[in-house]
């Protein structure tokens, strides 16, 4: 029997432990279909730190989520056993060790039958998550929502940072290079060569301006055509949103998507073969009235709903 969230008509939203959407913990259920797990790690950032506090902030903001999703016409917590799997505790002093910890513990959750929604943490964690997913599905399609490419070779001599995960993922054969796309890219780059190198890795780009000028239906149609029915991983850096919608992040860029646009694109992925996803770079120290955390909680909820729709439960 599926165990759902605490009934907010009986227990006030501001009472009790702040699990994601007030869902049961992993240790309170016997089986799991979808696990929401935090990775409070931000030692790979190149500018503003603070995303280590993202998972806690997103959980707190998620208290207001409700169990029926009208836009997708699904009650995800009735359709699938969704749980809060707690946090993967990483060594904040050693990026290499932290990457290994995330890969190992994410792999254990996947081995137990869960599909993962991971809340970061900085974007460094996408690499070990993709390693764990690819071990079970082979190379996966990737939709990467971000202001930035995150396919640079290194920062400060380090190959493992929040700006390098997808170059490493291509190099390691974790991604299906016929089905890769960035969404929401904008802002200055180091040189024109950044775009050429990104293209050589196999990525397509839908810029923030493309979303504005082409419209959501055309963008969604193009993304669906690109990924087809391949196993899909979705990675959402919350800075894909304009700072008006997500001020609490480490590397904000003007001219981004609205929260409405991002949610509509995600909903447009219904019926695709989504296998796992992440939401990263929420840094609550720079947030105002929990704007960013609220947006991230809704992004995670939409991703949970998409995964629940694919369980067949």
Q: Which residue do the tokens 């391949």 mark?
A: 230
pLDDT over 90, % of the chain: 98
Rounded Cα–Cα distance for residues 16 and 204 (Å): 44
| Longest pairwise C-alpha distance within the chain | 57
**Parent domain of 215:** 20-309
What pTM, to 2 d.p., does this model score?
A: 0.97
Supply the mean pLDDT for the chain: 97
Structure tokens at 230: 């391949």
By three-state DSSP, how is residue 302 classified?
A: helix
Contact 279, 119 (CB under 8 A): yes
**Residue 214: pLDDT above 50?**
yes
Tell me the pLDDT band of 14, cut-offs 50, 70 and 90.
very high
Quick one: average pLDDT of 217-223? 98
Residue 9 lies in a domain: no
Give SS3 for 140.
strand
Question: Which tens digits make up the pLDDT trace of 269-309?
Answer: 999 999 999 999 999 999 989 999 999 999 999 999 999 99
Is 311 a residue whose pLDDT tops 90? no
312 pLDDT above the threshold of 90: no
Residue 2 lies in a domain: no
Instruction: Give the three-state DSSP class for 21.
Output: helix
Q: Residue 63 in contact with residue 18, Cβ under 8 Å? A: yes
Element (H, E) at 227: helix 216-227
Q: Looking at the domain assignment, is residue 3 inside a domain? A: no
The binding site for Mn(2+) comprises 123, 146, 148, 150, 237, 239
Domain membership flag for residue 169: yes
Task: Answer yes or no: is 96 within a domain.
Answer: yes
Taking only the tens place, the pLDDT of each residue in 144-192 is: 999 999 999 999 999 999 999 999 999 999 999 999 999 999 999 999 9
% of the chain residues with pLDDT over 70: 99
Domain-located, residue 243 = yes
* Element containing residue 193 per DSSP (H, E): helix 193-200
* CATH number (domain holding residue 196): 3.40.800.10
| 11 belongs to a structural domain | no
Q: What integer pLDDT is reported at residue 165 of this predicted model?
A: 98
Domain assignment present for residue 7? The answer is no
**pLDDT of 313 above 90:** no
- Structural domains of the chain, count: 1
Nearest Cα to Cα of residue 301 among 61, 54, 48: 61
Query: Which residues contribute to the annotated binding site?
Result: 123, 146, 148, 150, 237, 239
Measured on CA atoms in the order 198, 203, 209, 210, is the torsion positive or negative?
positive
Please give the DSSP secondary-structure letter assigned to residue 158. Answer: B
Q: Residue 177, Cα to own-chain centre: how many angstroms?
A: 20
């Amino acid at each position: 029997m599926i165990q759902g969230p605490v009934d907010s008509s009986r227990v006030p939203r501001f009472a009790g432990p702040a699990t994601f959407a007030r869902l049961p913990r992993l240790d309170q259920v016997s089986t799991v279909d979808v696990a929401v797990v935090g990775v409070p790690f931000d030692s790979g950032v190149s500018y503003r730190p603070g995303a280590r506090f993202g998972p806690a902030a997103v959980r707190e903001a998620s208290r207001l989520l409700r169990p029926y999703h009208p836009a997708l016409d699904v009650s995800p917590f009735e359709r699938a056993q969704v749980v809060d799997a707690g946090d993967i505790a990483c060594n904040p002093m050693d990026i290499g060790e932290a990457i290994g910890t995330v890969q190992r513990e994410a792999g254990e959750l996947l081995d137990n039958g869960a599909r993962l929604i991971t809340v970061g943490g900085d974007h460094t964690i996408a690499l070990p998550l993709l390693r764990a997913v690819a071990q079970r599905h082979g190379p996966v399609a990737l939709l990467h929502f971000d202001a930035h490419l995150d396919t640079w070779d290194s920062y400060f001599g380090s190959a493992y940072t929040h700006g390098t995960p997808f170059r490493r993922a291509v190099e390691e054969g974790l991604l299906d290079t016929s089905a890769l796309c960035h969404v929401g890219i904008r802002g200055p780059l180091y040189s024109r060569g950044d775009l050429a190198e990104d293209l050589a890795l196999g990525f397509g780009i839908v810029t923030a301006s493309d979303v504005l000028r082409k419209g959501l239906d055309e963008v969604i149609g193009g993304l669906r055509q690109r990924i087809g029915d391949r196993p899909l991983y979705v990675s959402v850096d919350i800075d894909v949103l304009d700072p008006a919608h997500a001020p609490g992040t480490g590397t904000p860029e003007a001219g981004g998507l609205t929260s409405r646009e991002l949610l509509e694109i995600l909903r447009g992925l219904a019926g695709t073969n989504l296998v796992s996803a992440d939401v990263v770079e929420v840094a609550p120290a720079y947030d105002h009235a929990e704007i960013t955390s609220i947006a991230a909680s809704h992004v995670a909820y939409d991703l949970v709903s998409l995964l629940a729709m694919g369980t067949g439960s």
